[in-house]
Amino acid sequence: MAGAKPGVHALQLKPVVVHEVLKRGSKFIKWDELWKSIHMRNLFTFSVFISPQEVEIVDISHIRDTRTGKFAKLPKALTVREVLGFGKGEGNVEGKLVTVVHGNDLVNISFLNFQAMQEDIAKVWTEELFKLATNILSQNSSRNTFLLKAILKMFSDKRRVESALEQCGLVANRVIIKLDDFTWDKFQSFLNNLCLRPEIDRIFLELGSKGKPFLSLDQMLDFINRRQRDSRLNEVLYPPLKREQVRQLMEKYESNPSQLERDQISLMTFSKYLGGEENAVVPPERFDVMDDMNQPLSHYFINSSHNTYLTVGQLTGPSSVEMYRQVLLTGCRCIELDCWKGRPPDEEPIITHGFTMTTEIPFKEVIEAIAESAFKTSPYPVILSFENHVDSTRQQAKMAEYCRSIFGDALLIDPLEKYPLAPGQQLPSPQELMGKILIKNKKKHHHHHHQATNGGSVRRKAGDGAEDQASPLNGQYADALLSVLLHTPQTPSRSLKIIPGHFKKMLLKCCACCETPVHTEGTAYSEVNATEEMSTLVNYIEPVKFKSFEVAATYVCTKGMDSLKNNPIEFVEYNKKQLSRIYPKGTRVESSNYMPQLFWNVGCQMVALNFQTLDLPMQLNLSVFEYNGRSGYLLKPEFMRRTDKHFDPFTENIVDGIVANTVKIKIVSGQFLTDKKVGVYVEVDMFGLPADTKRKFRTKTSNNNSMDPVWDEEAFVFSKVVLPTLASLRVALFEENGKFIGHRILPVVALRPGYHYINLKNDLNQPLLLASLLVYTEVMDYIPDEHQGKVTVDNYYC
């Protein structure tokens, strides 16, 4: 979201490498609690398994997790346990188990259960399959790679397709095409003949072919350096390609030696290049950890979850231990635990949404799930946000003991020597806290004078009364910020006057789910005092009731909410040193989300969302946090970190030291968008500062064509994006009735100009196999009208 570390980034991400064991395949016993018999199965990955038996296929991109040993699912049915060898003294039976977790959302997931012949085979499959499933480069592959994947899937599923055709009476005599004969080049040729691409022909002609069936080396050099190169890049650090580099590209994609001898490429080769990895719409290094991870915690946006245990609504429905695993696996780094006192005879602390009809789950099982999954996809620190209602000293002691024993050395109990809990001391960095779990909970203080504020942490003032104890800090911020953004007519402000109308609608829509509820004694929001055992686990992050910006503001000393209403700049200043957490309104029934962008714009670090609801706010959150290695941490822009810089989130003017951008995007065509014969259309939105948020541009609806529609329309223009480092471009595809098909959310700072394919993703940010859009983009430094001698295209705004 913010700028990367200075200099050219050397890509650290590793491409997909399939382990030899996975290539060869292994024999497993596949079991299920409901099955009356056990089935032998062969497991394969990218290699294709042709068998007379029906083949089950799970797309690796839909695999959420793999588990073995004590973390795998254990059979409960006695007959299954007997067949698998439980209770027969056959060694470590659990070590041979493998569970594959897959699904298209975080709630409705499925489990495939296997038992390997040897423990080492189970271990290899569990580790290597997880690497493949979570490989960011693989999930953001080129169009060519997804087409190749479609071929393999087609051959893998051959018998099922043939069977369906036979049952329909459509296949009398089989004509077999061997995979070895159906090469990539032949598939490309087949595809080009099956789906004619007039728009590619026009581009080819436009580039100077002049009716000839080829482009020369010089024409390709000009095309790549003039049309496809990002003009914002420093030419010293990122020099234009040289002739030899372009020739190497031509050699990679051109299969005709005679063309290469003449320094030429064909139309089909040009089409291959457009879909190749070198021409991705976002450079691969953007998915790597590019940010400086040595800044204080308060300098980062932190991927955060609200009421993590819930699977449906806020008042009814099941709570789930599995949700903690699933949320952590997305890269989320701040999760919430609502802790309540368990009933006799066990008196085990539980997690639930208090005073509702949601179910209860054991606190201990949640801690075990967190320990298992905390660092599987990101090594950076995890924050456990406790809402502690356990008014039992004994059960709080149990909670503390579970945390200590289960987390072990991963639990940060004592502050780092370099960062003592002292006034003016900044917070440690994500790098220094790597592999650590931090607990955010109230803390018991033994003295009554005001506790000095730890310069980078959220600290509670000792001696606060019961009113403070009943009011968590975080909801106050949500209410406060909305007070800033949603002034009443009696209190007009400069900030409100400059908010565009479409942005006001967004704020009003999210107001209902962001308000802070009234906290009173005896409600689900009343927290209890921490015991000594729980207090010892709390160090850098302790909730306090928000009273003013005095704690962290360096330049402006204001008190109370009145100052906040008129000074959003102060909130930005506050978040330079302090951690703030925003969460949805606690009195709502459904689990809809507010737009996190509103709070990122003022530097709030932990903007907590309901991960079970894959609405637009959640889609934005998942997409934004996919970058920087899916680490769960994104470095805030520099002016949101430096104390000598001030920033007004409502500005329409150029920010000092920041170059605004102009962004243009033309939707050229679509490919294999859906298997339905329906009309489709594309929407393009920009999310960012109020001045940058533009919704929404839309193409015309195609005429019952979802296979290969072509849109011959003008480009959509965002003439001035004030803050590109906080702006994201969303390209979304819908059926003519408004049903969502897929989308892609792209950071403006990483957007490459030129002709590119955008491979679409579903609402969980998983890649769709074939659906893609060919677009033409222009991203350049913004030039005011008076300097460019012409009027900008303001009439494009919707």
Mind telling me the catalytic residues?
Answer: 306, 353
Burial of 187 (0-12, 13-18, 19+ CB in 10 A): middle
DSSP 3-58: ---SSPPPP-PPPP---HHHHH-EEEEEE-TT-SS-EEEEE-SSS----SS-----
Rounded Cα distance, 354 and 606, in Å: 23
b/e per residue 745-763 (b: at least 16 CB within 10 A):
bbbbbbbbbbbbbbbbbbb
- CA angle, residues 188, 191, 196, in degrees to nearest 5: 120
First to last CA, the chain: 25
Q: Name the β-bridge partners of 582.
A: 607
Can you state the percent helix, strand and coil of the chain, rounding each to 5? 30, 20, 50
Rounded Cα distance, 10 and 555, in Å: 39
HSE toward the beta carbon, residue 133, CA cutoff 13 A: 23
Rounded Cα distance, 750 and 104, in Å: 27
Rounded Cα distance, 643 and 637, in Å: 12
Rounded Cα distance, 536 and 335, in Å: 20
Whether the Cβ atoms of residue 766 and residue 103 lie closer than 8 Å to each other: no
Indicate the residue type of 10: A
Rounded Cα distance, 133 and 370, in Å: 20
Nearest Cα to Cα of residue 743 among 693, 683, 692, 700: 683
Task: Count the Cβ atoms, other than its own, within 10 Å of residue 199.
Answer: 17
Rounded Cα distance, 399 and 372, in Å: 17
Whether the Cβ atoms of residue 444 and residue 493 lie closer than 8 Å to each other: no
Burial of 88 (0-12, 13-18, 19+ CB in 10 A): exposed
Task: Count the Cβ atoms, other than its own, within 10 Å of residue 221.
Answer: 20
CA 555 to the chain's CA centroid: 35
**Sign of the torsion formed by the C-alpha atoms of 234, 235, 237 and 243:** positive
Rounded Cα distance, 354 and 525, in Å: 8
Rounded Cα distance, 775 and 756, in Å: 6
